[in-house]
Amino acid sequence: MSRSDSHTYAEQPWFVPPAAETARDVVVIGAGVAGAGAAFSLAEAGFSVRVFERRETAAAETSAHPAAVVMPIISLKPAPVSRYHVAAYELTLQRIRALIERGLDPGWHPCGAVHLLNKPRLQKLYEGLAQTGLPAGIVTALSAAETAEYTGLPLQEPALLFPEAGWLHPPSFVQAQLAHERIRFFPAAPVDAIEPGGPGWRLLDEAGAVMAETPLLVLANAGDCLRFRESDWFPLIRIRGQLAYVAPEHCDRHPRSVICHDGYTVPATGVGHLMGATFDYHRDDDTLDRDDFENLVQRNQALLGLKTQIGALAMRGRVAFRSKCHDHLPMVGAVPDYAATMRDYHDITKGRSFKNYPKAPYVPGLYVTTAHGSRGMISSVMAGRILADQLVGAPAALDETLMAAVHPSRFIVRRLLRRQPPLRAADGRETGDASMNEWR
């Protein structure tokens, strides 16, 4: 156990949240699921929200998928990633229901999701499901016969079923959230720089002209956070992912639910059966790759009863880039003042009592929601809720351990505790793990 693990969140001054904000105007940069999720939660909490997006429409970058699975990653032991995902999943289902009740269309398809037991980890989870302590209704065990019945496929293996899961159309989900009456959306508005000024922050365009002033600013621009000095140290990794689409007429079988296996299959979307997804840390090109396409289809060949030769299929799909952190959790909350954090806590390995350190230094009025990795649909909703609670000073939706687990300062503090090189070198250069494709 590390020195920080043996202390509660409240005893670790670097994780103490900032005081509540008094202003009620906020600007969000970025209109993917992260920006929309934050904007909606803030609007619900009474804030007047402006969302600035560099593209002509919302959800035009990573969140532009024709379909995305809504489902948590769970584990046998209550690890932070699993606990965060389960809480985020439940909140997302609530949000989807709330949007539908308002007469909005979040593009929701509650067809359930079945996870085949393709890894020893999942087999253990299946056998030990009763001991996981997961809330009732999240996941159940299906026998082989039940799996076949549920999916409508001749599968001969047991599986885990997430009965309330499904898929949504992310652009619809984003638009439904942005339709809130307290949100104003500004498309085609690329923010080139931010600077302290006016009531708190100024947003500048490429020509240096002021686009907006705001007391409160939320960065929801994925890897583009690294453009700003205040957030250029975020340890974000960029991971290429490719999807493949196959028209149903090429298949003999048509699943009734989402199927997760080596990848995942989403049936009957607007682009046909959708197959995901590749993970590539080392490539940065956004053109569709024929080998990736064929590998994805190959994985689904038996499942879908593909009747056309793979080589004869037209290559259809999309490439996008995930932004994530090494620990598979997002960065959410007030943005730490990097230099002040390094200054205040530089000697935390020297045995001084934690209570003698000052409280966490933050950049005034600056917040972030990013690094939602492979589960942006659910993670973005929880992140929005965390931000809204933090800005109004409400009790956090998650317990102290989980709030520490998503706190942006965790990377600075971990490096100090492990005596690792800093994220930003003394000469201002960023350092980091060059073995992966970083967002810079």
Ligand X SMILES: Cc1cc2nc3c(=O)[nH]c(=O)nc-3n(C[C@H](O)[C@H](O)[C@H](O)COP(=O)(O)OP(=O)(O)OC[C@H]3O[C@@H](n4cnc5c(N)ncnc54)[C@H](O)[C@@H]3O)c2cc1C
Q: Which of 17, 41, 42, 54 binds ligand X (CB under 6 A)?
A: 54
Scanning 286-294, 299-307, 318-326, 385-393 for contacts with ligand X by CB under 6 A, the matching segment is 318-326
Amino acid 376 reads G
Q: Does 320 help bind ligand X (rule: CB under 6 A)?
A: yes
Phi, psi at 3, each rounded to 5°: -60, -35
Scanning 15-23, 127-135, 146-154, 319-327 for contacts with ligand X by CB under 6 A, the matching segment is 319-327
Q: Which of 241, 267, 333, 365 binds ligand X (CB under 6 A)?
A: 241
Scanning 31-39, 144-152, 417-425, 430-438 for contacts with ligand X by CB under 6 A, the matching segment is 31-39
Q: Which of 239, 318, 245, 295 is CA-nearest to residue 64?
A: 318
| Cβ at position 272, least distance to ligand X in Å | 16
Q: Does 52 help bind ligand X (rule: CB under 6 A)?
A: yes
Q: How many CA atoms lie within 13 A of 329 on its CB side?
A: 25
Binding pattern for the stretch 32-51 against ligand X, x by CB under 6 A and - elsewhere: xxxx----------------
CA dihedral sign of residues 146, 152, 155, 161: negative
Question: What does the block give as tokens for 282?
Answer: 């080392």
| Cβ at position 426, least distance to ligand X in Å | 28
Q: Which of 110, 187, 190, 263 binds ligand X (CB under 6 A)?
A: 190
Which are the contacts of 91, defined by CB distance < 8 A and separation ≥ 6?
A: 378, 381, 382, 385, 397
Q: Which of 26, 27, 28, 29 binds ligand X (CB under 6 A)?
A: 29
| Residue 308 CB burial class (10 angstroms; 0-12, 13-18, ≥19) | middle
User: H helices within 104-221, ranges in order?
Assistant: 120-127, 144-151, 170-178
In angstroms, what is the C-alpha Rg of the chain? 22
Q: Which helix (H) or strand (E) holds 297?
A: helix 290-304
Q: Does 226 help bind ligand X (rule: CB under 6 A)?
A: no
Note the residue count of the chain: 440
| Percent composition of the chain: helix, strand, coil (DSSP 3-state, to 5) | 35, 25, 45
Total residues at interface with ligand X (CB under 6 A): 39
User: Considering beta carbons, is residue 39 or 251 the nearer one to ligand X?
Assistant: 39
User: Considering beta carbons, is residue 250 or 322 the nearer one to ligand X?
Assistant: 322
DSSP-derived 3-state class of residue 149? helix
Which are the contacts of 353, defined by CB distance < 8 A and separation ≥ 6?
A: none
User: Considering beta carbons, is residue 374 or 401 the nearer one to ligand X?
Assistant: 374
Q: Which of 91, 114, 116, 191 binds ligand X (CB under 6 A)?
A: 191
CA dihedral sign of residues 47, 52, 56, 57: negative
| Cβ at position 349, least distance to ligand X in Å | 33
User: Considering beta carbons, is residue 68 or 366 the nearer one to ligand X?
Assistant: 68
Distance CA 161, CA 410 (A): 34
Q: Does 63 help bind ligand X (rule: CB under 6 A)?
A: yes
Residues 250-289 close enough to bind ligand X by CB under 6 A: 276-277
| Cβ at position 51, least distance to ligand X in Å | 9
| Cβ at position 258, least distance to ligand X in Å | 9
| Cβ at position 239, least distance to ligand X in Å | 7
CA dihedral (405, 409, 412, 416) in degrees, to 10, reads -70
Q: Does 83 help bind ligand X (rule: CB under 6 A)?
A: no
Q: Which of 372, 385, 410, 424 binds ligand X (CB under 6 A)?
A: 372
Q: Which of 26, 27, 28, 31 binds ligand X (CB under 6 A)?
A: 31
Q: Does 322 help bind ligand X (rule: CB under 6 A)?
A: yes
Query: Applying CB under 6 A, which residues contact ligand X?
Result: 29-35, 52-55, 60-63, 65, 68-69, 190-191, 220-222, 224, 241, 243, 276-277, 320-322, 370, 372-378
